[in-house]
Amino acid sequence: MTAGSPLLAELIEAFRCLPGVGAKSAQRMAFHVLERDRTGARRLADRLVAAIDRIGNCRQCRGFSETEICNVCASPARDRSLLCIVESPVDQAAVEAATGYRGLYFVLLGRLSPLDGLGPSELGVDLLGERLAQGEIKELIVATNPTVEGEATAHWLSQLARDAGVRATRLAHGVPLGGELEFIDRGTLAHAFGTRHTLT
Amino acid sequence: MTAGSPLLAELIEAFRCLPGVGAKSAQRMAFHVLERDRTGARRLADRLVAAIDRIGNCRQCRGFSETEICNVCASPARDRSLLCIVESPVDQAAVEAATGYRGLYFVLLGRLSPLDGLGPSELGVDLLGERLAQGEIKELIVATNPTVEGEATAHWLSQLARDAGVRATRLAHGVPLGGELEFIDRGTLAHAFGTRHTLT
Ligand SMILES: [Zn+2]
Ligand SMILES: [Zn+2]
């Protein structure tokens, strides 16, 4: 397929680390950048390395950040009485893009899943408990995914909130059961966010 | 969308240089590599840079190569009496993957297109003329795309071959008109390759 150039074969193989990229797409990508966009490919390589080397997790919210405290947590424009809890950085991005939410976030980097060795401590319960105990947060918006594990995680979070005397809310129905926030259309997600209800 | 990390926003934008990658796919790719496959992403970055820096065009066939003469042209196992002419490296890869062809290639890096400033000299007519004049080639397999410009290019190539006293063949019907070799299924392409006919 790429008999003339071993480096080309290696590049095609490397593209397959990307989600949704099979053998055919990987080949198309490799030929495209070599034939038509070497500048774009070099920029992609540079930014991949910069992102890998410098993006870690915010010490406060555990979301992606290249600084100790991310730009969201550091922003004076954010409402510090609202804390939205999501499973992953991509869910945080989905909420941020779809809703007008201007509060803070907390990223679990997972969901309760004993079989995978994911319990409260892996999900940052110490950090979250401290935040709740500080008394600044008035509402905990539980935006875990509506899967079995996500619902169990939501239940656990509502208990944490109740113990701390903080109101917990959950995104409204409208988010399809079994779905993943990342793949929901913006309108549905915005609606569900707007009609969130108190967890009982 | 990526309020916490400017580097993340830059990475998402950079993924859009790839064909078929829109805003949503680019975001998914960036989060995927950061959350789950930094090793794969670093390998991709390394290979992109290696490919961009080191892959040029073979001095003999103009296909992709990281050496002066590509592995196909240099291979003693190839039949030097057959020369398959394609428009682009990706077409060469398609023929190589779909057929049992074991001859050599010549890559035009384009097709006759006067409006785009592409004439015989841009398509390497000097190099091709030399090859034909050497007398080693017995058959010129014209595998340009079955588009209007590809057909005009095929016509020009058949004249070149006739002038040099070399038989020219064209891929058989079976390749859909208006299609591009790159996107044809292997079976169709292999059949068309096998039933190629003499250009008259
Ligand atoms: Zn943060
Ligand atoms: Zn070559």
- Whether residue B44 is contained in a domain is answered as yes
d(C-alpha B172, C-alpha B192), whole Å: 5
User: What average pLDDT does this structure show over B32-55?
Assistant: 97
> How far apart, in Å, do the first and last CA atoms of chain B sit?
60
Dump pLDDT digits (tens) for A11-59. 999 999 999 999 999 999 999 999 999 999 999 999 999 999 999 999 9
Q: How do beta strands A139-142 and A167-170 pair?
A: parallel
pLDDT at B3 over 90: no
- Whether residue B73 is contained in a domain is answered as no
Q: Provide CB contacts within 8 A for B130, sequence distance 6+.
A: none
Q: Which pLDDT belongs to residue A199?
A: 74
- Whether residue A160 is contained in a domain is answered as yes
d(C-alpha B110, C-alpha A165), whole Å: 70
User: What percent of chain A is modeled with pLDDT above 90?
Assistant: 73
Q: Which pLDDT belongs to residue A2?
A: 66
pLDDT at A195 over 70: yes
Q: Is A47 on the interface with B (CB under 8 A)?
A: yes
A7 and B55: CB-CB below 8 Å?
yes
The CATH number of whichever domain residue A20 belongs to comes to: 1.10.8.420
Instruction: Tell whether A43 and A117 lie within a shared domain.
Output: no
Q: Is B93 on the interface with A (CB under 8 A)?
A: yes
Instruction: Tell whether A44 and A86 lie within a shared domain.
Output: no
Chain A residues with CB under 8 Å of B14 CB are 40, 43-44, 46-48
- Whether residue B84 is contained in a domain is answered as yes
Q: How do beta strands A139-142 and A79-86 pair?
A: parallel
Residue B98: C-alpha distances to residues A188, A189, B101, B193 (Å)? 45, 45, 9, 9
Q: Which pLDDT belongs to residue A99?
A: 85
Q: Which pLDDT belongs to residue A194?
A: 79
Q: Which pLDDT belongs to residue A177?
A: 66
Dump pLDDT digits (tens) for A54-71. 999 999 999 999 999 999
Residue B177: band (very low, low, confident or very high) from pLDDT cuts 50, 70, 90? low
B72 and A3: CB-CB below 8 Å?
yes
SS3 A100: coil
d(C-alpha A150, C-alpha B135), whole Å: 72
Q: Which pLDDT belongs to residue B2?
A: 66
Residue B147: band (very low, low, confident or very high) from pLDDT cuts 50, 70, 90? confident
> What is the H or E stretch that residue A2 is in?
none
Q: Which pLDDT belongs to residue A57?
A: 95
- Whether residue A129 is contained in a domain is answered as yes
- Whether residue B141 is contained in a domain is answered as yes
Q: Which pLDDT belongs to residue B1?
A: 53
Cβ proximity of A35 and A26 under 8 Å: no
Please give the model's pTM, rounded to 2 decimal places. Answer: 0.80
User: What average pLDDT does this structure show over B88-107?
Assistant: 91
- Whether residue A68 is contained in a domain is answered as no
Instruction: Tell whether A95 and A147 lie within a shared domain.
Output: yes
d(C-alpha B141, C-alpha B181), whole Å: 14
Q: Provide CB contacts within 8 A for A187, sequence distance 6+.
A: A98
pLDDT at A1 over 60: no
Instruction: Tell whether B92 and B161 lie within a shared domain.
Output: yes
Cα atoms found within 13 Å of the Cα of residue B46, Cβ hemisphere only:
10
Instruction: Tell whether B49 and B106 lie within a shared domain.
Output: no
Cβ proximity of B167 and B137 under 8 Å: no
The CATH number of whichever domain residue A165 belongs to comes to: 3.40.1360.10
**Angle between helices A23-36 and B38-54 in degrees, nearest 10:** 40
Q: Which residue among A31, A96, A182 places its CB closest to the CB of B3?
A: A96
d(C-alpha A112, C-alpha B57), whole Å: 53
Block residue for tokens 């509506």: A146
- Whether residue B177 is contained in a domain is answered as no
Which residues form the domain of A92?
78-170
Instruction: Tell whether B38 and B106 lie within a shared domain.
Output: no
Work out the minimum CA distance from B171 to partner chain A, whole angstroms.
Answer: 19
Instruction: Tell whether B50 and B100 lie within a shared domain.
Output: no
Q: In this complex, how many residue pairs, one in chain A and one in chain B, have their CB atoms less than 8 Å apart?
A: 204
Q: Is B158 on the interface with A (CB under 8 A)?
A: no
Most B-contacting residue of A18, A27, A71 (CB-CB within 10 A), to test interface: A18
User: A173 or B89: which carries more pLDDT confidence?
Assistant: B89
Nearest residue in A to B7, CA atom: A51
